[in-house]
Amino acid sequence: MTSLVVPENEPMRLGLMGGTFDPIHVGHIACAQAACEACGIDEVLFIPASVPNFKRGRRLAPAETRLAWCEASLREHAHFHACDIEIKRDGITYTVDTLRQLRALYASDVELCFILGADSAASLPRWYASEELAELATFVAVSRPGQALDEEVRSSLEAAGFRVEYAEGLMVDVSSSDIRGRIASGESIEGLVPEAIRLQVESEPAYCGVKEAGVEDAVCPEMNARGGVADDALSDAFFEARKAELVGRVTEKRFNHVMGVVDAAQRLAEIYDVDVRTARLAALLHDWDKGYDDEGIWKRGIDLGLDKTLDPWVFSNMPQVLHAHTAAVALEQEFPQIPREVIQAIDRHTVGDENMTPLEMVLYCADAIEDGRRFGTIDELRAAVGQVSLDELFFRVYEFWTLNLLSRRHQVHPATIKVWNTLIARRGSKKGRE
């Protein structure tokens, strides 16, 4: 049970600091202190986000560890407390769920004040269920080095219905990514994290392989689940931030597959004259939800309302295709800056469609023939790249996959038959006869 901080008699302003805390550092504590001083906040809960259900890649410390570091670091601050409410919850941790849960736990005269750095504050209107979010709490935006809140952001937050207060923090130029990077390259982190946890943090296995995996070069201003900092979804910054986030969402094997698809999609895009940045983004995000098991993906599908929009038979019987649809819906909600064509390509990457766009065909083919895949006659498909038209390549890949499913006696999606018939009709009307 989550332990509560209970006000004795006065109504209270309860501060909430959400984050990955991977690891917690002196900037987080300074941020909370600034909010308390500027806005009369009495107590603060530090709430590490979980990265649930997903088999996490190596570079995120386990949720329990991140929580334990918060506990140890906050012991000397009487009014700061580590809170396990998110890591105990199953499923993806949306702030709105946490606020709802806390709202129900606390009396109505306790005001919830969500504290966040200016970088995160700017993206608030893009967070999941932002309208409800705006109703549930007051938001306290604390300036961060290089991240003051400009007038434009302030007015966009107000226009979106957020009650926002501002605090000038004692600027502490540190971030968790910076700390992880230093550990990976053997630099000191003294003074950057509370001394009580420094040795543990330095020896955290999740941080030591950052260099080898190539994620360290990521321009990664936001690793947490809600950080859509880059407005331009086709930018390198957006790509790298999502890539770093993906590490925590899928297994290492899946991550490697995705990076293979990114390479293949870029190659195909160049050959077939599709925008390369758009193709690489669709490839990077296509398996965004592949870390869920069947139970998890059903639950996520229901949370996102897909049980009402998808074919009910497919929803109940084909959990293996749901990840494409949940990813499309969830990504569109969380990152409205992602172009619609990318969302649709993700949505169609498992079953395809009768009218695939060039981008969609590139993703579909890249997913099948990336270098990590080894089976059947896949080399013949690889050899056809650049030799045949994109339509023809897609047809061959679709045929290969469909035959493969049938020969392994898997269920096929009802739409597969439709797509197949359309493709055949287009190729010269064989109409079921040779």
* 222 to 241: interface string for Mg ion, x by CB under 5 A: x-------------------
Does residue 13 bind ligand ATP (CB under 6 A)? no
CA distances in angstroms from 276 to 98, 245, 261, 288, 409, listed in the order given: 38, 21, 13, 19, 36
Does residue 225 bind ligand ATP (CB under 6 A)? no
Given the complex with ligand ATP, which of 223 and 258 has the nearer CB atom? 223
Least distance in Å: CB of 118 to ligand ATP?
A: 7
CA distances in angstroms from 259 to 57, 206, 256, 372, 433, listed in the order given: 14, 20, 5, 10, 41
- Cα separation of 41 and 228, whole Å? 27
Least distance in Å: CB of 161 to ligand ATP?
A: 20
Least distance in Å: CB of 84 to ligand ATP?
A: 16
Given the complex with ligand ATP, which of 118 and 324 has the nearer CB atom? 118
* Cα dihedral across residues 307, 312, 318, 321: positive or negative: negative
Per-position b or e across 186-196, b if 16+ CB within 10 A of its CB: eeebeebbbee
Least distance in Å: CB of 227 to ligand ATP?
A: 6
* 192 to 221: interface string for Mg ion, x by CB under 5 A: ------------------------------
Give 100's contacts (C-beta < 8 A, 6+ positions apart): 132, 136
Least distance in Å: CB of 108 to Mg ion?
A: 31
Pick the piece of the chain touching ligand ATP (CB under 6 A) from 21-29, 126-134, 309-317, 356-364. Answer: 21-29
Given the complex with ligand ATP, which of 96 and 223 has the nearer CB atom? 223
Least distance in Å: CB of 189 to Mg ion?
A: 17
* Residue 429 tokens, joined: 């009307």
Binding residue (CB under 6 A) for ligand ATP from 16, 116, 153, 215? 116
Given the complex with ligand ATP, which of 119 and 367 has the nearer CB atom? 119
Pick the piece of the chain touching ligand ATP (CB under 6 A) from 112-120, 199-207, 326-334, 406-414. Answer: 112-120
Does residue 177 bind ligand ATP (CB under 6 A)? yes
Does residue 57 bind ligand ATP (CB under 6 A)? no
Does residue 279 bind ligand ATP (CB under 6 A)? no
* Angle in degrees, CA 141, 143, 148, rounded to 5: 110
> Residue 195's closest CA among 11, 24, 427?
24
Least distance in Å: CB of 76 to Mg ion?
A: 24
Please give the residue whose beta carbon sits closest to ligand ATP in the complex.
117
> Residue 11's closest CA among 48, 43, 36?
43
Is residue 387 within 8 Å of 396, Cβ to Cβ? no
Least distance in Å: CB of 178 to ligand ATP?
A: 7
Is residue 57 within 8 Å of 255, Cβ to Cβ? yes
For tokens 């055949």, the residue is 424
For tokens 């006696």, the residue is 409
Pick the piece of the chain touching ligand ATP (CB under 6 A) from 14-22, 195-203, 263-271, 372-380. Answer: 14-22
Binding residue (CB under 6 A) for ligand ATP from 50, 73, 93, 120? 120
Is residue 201 within 8 Å of 66, Cβ to Cβ? no
- Cα separation of 144 and 282, whole Å? 32
- Cα separation of 288 and 327, whole Å? 6
Least distance in Å: CB of 177 to ligand ATP?
A: 3
Kindly list the residues in this chain that would bind ligand ATP in the complex (CB under 6 A).
Answer: 19-22, 27-28, 31, 116-117, 119-120, 142, 144, 169, 172, 174-177, 222-224
